[in-house]
Amino acid sequence: MKTHKKFILALCVSLLSMSLAAQIPVSDIFDVVIKSIFIIRTLPATTITMNMTVPQAGKPVADVVSAPSYLQLTSIAPLNETRKVSTIISTGTKPRGTTLTLAVSPCTTGAGTLGNTYTVVLTTASSQTIIDGIGSCYTGTATADGYKMIYTWAADIPNYSLINATSGSNPITITHTISLASGDSPWIDPEGW
């Protein structure tokens, strides 16, 4: 049994020495590194289905409002760096004569610098910022944790004549991306950890 302990100790020390090769003596110095992290997900992660209907003869088609979904994230930011979440229609196009709006509510769960939220009209042409000013924070992971997102699909009234019935359903994909507020390249650890 004693031999077994020694073996494991030797294994641990040898593995440690691989990742902390510059430190001498190995057993006395601990480098504490907090990696720059930003990761997101949405709940629920299922397809959103939206169907337009006319509520009454003479009225326009009614707005279609999605059930709420929640964007959750964890961010560990270096000093003075913020992140943003931007959104675009990445595949497919929304039906003509309609608008697709995404309303994002402030996050009231989790902790940290959770940033500011916006309501934007989604397009295929350019990304719209839905959250900015994100520092180090987390939103939580429960069903209704995070930033509440509601999609509203509505007739673009001045362009109503452009609306066409879809043949079957029209699929699109919305892509949310978290990135540095100042640019697109992620922060690189200068120590090359």
Partner 1 sequence: MSRTYYILIFCILFSVRVGYVSAQDDNIVKIPIQMTIPPMASLSLAGSDNPLSPNQVSGASQILRLSSKGQFWINYSSVVENNTVNTICVSIVSGDVPAEIAIKLKIGPDVGAGMGKVGKPSAPIYLSIQPQAIITEIGSCFTGIGPNKGHSLTYTWELQPGADFDLKSLESQNLEVGVMYTISSGE
Which residues contribute to the site for partner 1 (CB under 8 A)?
4-5, 8-9, 12, 15-16, 19, 33, 35, 37-42, 45, 47-54, 56-61, 69, 71, 90, 94-95, 97-98, 100, 151, 153, 157-158, 160-179, 186, 189, 193
Q: Which is nearer to partner 1, 57 or 79 (CB)?
A: 57
Q: Shortest approach of partner 1 to residue 67 CB, angstroms?
A: 12
Q: Shortest approach of partner 1 to residue 20 CB, angstroms?
A: 9
Q: Shortest approach of partner 1 to residue 88 CB, angstroms?
A: 11
Here the tokens at position 171 are 């699929």
Q: Which is nearer to partner 1, 109 or 179 (CB)?
A: 179
- CB-based contact 69:139 (threshold 8 Å): no
Q: Which is nearer to partner 1, 113 or 164 (CB)?
A: 164
Amino acid of residue 1? M
- CB-based contact 70:59 (threshold 8 Å): no
Q: Shortest approach of partner 1 to residue 151 CB, angstroms?
A: 7
- How far apart CA 139 and CA 153 sit, in angstroms, is 27
3-state secondary structure of 147: strand
- How far apart CA 8 and CA 14 sit, in angstroms, is 10
Q: Which is nearer to partner 1, 92 or 106 (CB)?
A: 92
- CB-based contact 178:130 (threshold 8 Å): no
